[in-house]
Structure 1
């Protein structure tokens, strides 16, 4: 049975079922059933439909659980889901900020719960979305000042660490260096990195098939350094894995299995830490920002950046033109030379 058929055969198949099951789940504050309703609504009614990513669904489920924890225990909630007012969401957002969450994280949680409210309207549990008028907190700083990329020299130093850190384990060194290159040179997202399969690598054509956000697929050319890293890893990989995944775990509990997103983050974090980098840059997305910044610096073409990184719009790519301070310094010096 297909995914769509499963949805249509579910408890949300018709209006009467949706209202009955939705009312029960809302009254009981049942996180599992409400998550099922939210996911069904997103797959059927959101603009992305069946293309919505598993990561987005997971994030929204996390937001739902956080909100239910805030509203109180199911047996005696402080805020019943069918009696919510905008002020309840505003207080929740303030509490999330007090916990130290960034404005972008708070915004993501609001959007997750807002989609739950819309799902409850769709199910006939609510007449309107009580969160519709609630605004997320604004960022205190522009995106390019909040997020950082590695300089070219720092990235080269990072790439030198795996062989130095694992002289007796060339397999681990080769895998780790390839991971850093795929992120910092080709600009792959975390989910794209761990989602790569052996069949996605086309060394003869010199390209990589990448499945990005919204299930959009793009072909990314391979640089000479990435080709060399791939060849080195593929020679060693066959001894530890027989799965279809390109990047595999080398931990004792999951040797040869697909590397998880957390595993990839932990690997990168270890090298960031060894290089003495501050914890603010330890995420895998720092590698992607590094690739975007260096690509823009080399080309000064936002369309090329958008194409390689898989951005739907060059507006997103424009951030990379602002992140590298050396780009702005070069522009200022060039302008000064005109005087």
Structure 2
């Protein structure tokens, strides 16, 4: 189940608002290990009781629902679970985390799944099904290497080659090439998150003012200035889009599949498009995520400005501390630093 929309959230809130109903429904779902109802309870709890409450993003709800389903699959089939939800102990969660790591998941992915399931346990406490959260003392695995060494950006020359690929590989299909170029530019030049990219509407683009209106995490809105390359790509795409789809509004990036032609491009669809170009460029699989484009924008922005406050503002970071990783990821910054040190020493001699 995906996270509910705002309208759905109000329905769910009314369904779970009464304490007696909440406990009855929660007990029934826990006993049956009903994944659908339990993820509904989780999403309602997140919408009403988590620290972000109504500002919790759809992506977060989807991620946590996926984590809950994974954990419920681990506890065994609903008709004969090997681990009952009302009898869980810390060791059960620790074994599950080990299984996730054995499946090849990174420490960060395992941590995300633990947080999702921990919120399910808190939701069950809220519903009166559990007296306390049995996962409270469980710690996620720690990464053994610093974040900047695991998360890499695309070097400038390779990024330029990446932007050229749509019109090379989609020869004869200008419509698709224009759309794909915009997708890559929005992430790699605009620094948008995946959900922000697919969430853009045509009316969010202002080519006269050369800026985008972006709705970011937590419902925050920011204005992102357009580079010349991104503005040109958007102009070409909007011209193609209107001529072929005959649509002047709606989603900026649209699907070209027969099943969803003209509909909003999904995050998965955007990821698959980017993956194909990454693969052709020869990037390693660990760099195939859409967030690689955002990291690339952040790293190149820092290289150009050496100002973390500018990077934080353009990328929509709440704190410059979050942006600091881009300074660490830029190997040229470190190279320039040691070369400057060498020149200093040579001058002293």
Partner Cα separation in structure 2 for residue 169 and residue 199 of structure 1: 25
Q: Which residue of 2 aligns with 1:152?
A: 156
- The one-character-per-residue Cα deviations of 1:176-197 (angstroms, maximum 9, x if unpaired) are 1111111101111111111100
Residue ranges of structure 2 left out of the alignment (5+ in a row): 1-5
- The alpha carbon displacement at 1:7 in A equals 3.5
Aligned to 2:38, the other structure's residue is in SS state helix
**C-alpha spacing 1:137/1:87, structure 2 compared with 1 (3 Å):** same
- The alpha carbon displacement at 1:252 in A equals 2.4
Q: Which residue of 2 aligns with 1:109?
A: 113
Q: Which residue of 2 aligns with 1:204?
A: 208
Residue among 325, 328, 332 paired with 1:322: 328
Aligned to 1:238, the other structure's residue is in SS state helix
Partner Cα separation in structure 2 for residue 250 and residue 6 of structure 1: 34
Q: Which residue of 1 aligns with 2:103?
A: 99
- The alpha carbon displacement at 1:6 in A equals 2.1
Q: Which residue of 2 aligns with 1:253?
A: 259
Q: Indicate if the aligned counterparts of 2:42 and 2:119 stay in contact, CA closer than 8 A.
A: yes
**C-alpha spacing 1:113/1:325, structure 2 compared with 1 (3 Å):** same
- The alpha carbon displacement at 1:300 in A equals 0.8
- The alpha carbon displacement at 1:278 in A equals 1.4
How many residues align? The count is 338
Asked if 1:6 corresponds to 2:11, the answer is yes
- The one-character-per-residue Cα deviations of 1:251-292 (angstroms, maximum 9, x if unpaired) are 222221111111111111111111122111111111111000
Pairwise CA RMSD? 1.3
Q: Which residue of 2 aligns with 1:284?
A: 290
- The one-character-per-residue Cα deviations of 1:12-70 (angstroms, maximum 9, x if unpaired) are 12111111111111111011111111111111101111111111111111111111111
- The alpha carbon displacement at 1:75 in A equals 1.8
Partner Cα separation in structure 2 for residue 5 and residue 158 of structure 1: 44
Q: Indicate if the aligned counterparts of 1:240 and 1:255 stay in contact, CA closer than 8 A.
A: no
Residue among 157, 182, 185 paired with 1:178: 182
Asked if 1:275 corresponds to 2:274, the answer is no
Partner Cα separation in structure 1 for residue 13 and residue 194 of structure 2: 32
Partner Cα separation in structure 2 for residue 60 and residue 256 of structure 1: 29
**C-alpha spacing 1:4/1:272, structure 2 compared with 1 (3 Å):** closer
- The one-character-per-residue Cα deviations of 1:150-175 (angstroms, maximum 9, x if unpaired) are 01000001111111112211111111
Q: Which residue of 1 aligns with 2:123?
A: 119
Partner Cα separation in structure 2 for residue 44 and residue 256 of structure 1: 34
Residue ranges of structure 1 left out of the alignment (5+ in a row): none
Aligned to 2:243, the other structure's residue is in SS state coil
Q: Indicate if the aligned counterparts of 1:187 and 1:292 stay in contact, CA closer than 8 A.
A: yes
Partner Cα separation in structure 1 for residue 300 and residue 269 of structure 2: 26
- The one-character-per-residue Cα deviations of 1:299-331 (angstroms, maximum 9, x if unpaired) are 111111111111111111111001121111011
Q: Indicate if the aligned counterparts of 2:9 and 2:44 stay in contact, CA closer than 8 A.
A: no
- Counterparts of 1:6-45 in structure 2, within 5 Å, are 6-10=11-15, 12-45=16-49
Partner Cα separation in structure 2 for residue 86 and residue 2 of structure 1: 36
- The one-character-per-residue Cα deviations of 1:222-269 (angstroms, maximum 9, x if unpaired) are 111111111111111112332501111122222211111111111111
Scaled by the length of structure 1, the TM-score of the pair is 0.97
Q: Which residue of 1 aligns with 2:3?
A: none
Partner Cα separation in structure 1 for residue 271 and residue 7 of structure 2: 33
Partner Cα separation in structure 1 for residue 280 and residue 13 of structure 2: 51
Residue among 217, 230, 239 paired with 1:226: 230
Aligned to 2:223, the other structure's residue is in SS state strand
Q: Indicate if the aligned counterparts of 2:64 and 2:116 stay in contact, CA closer than 8 A.
A: yes
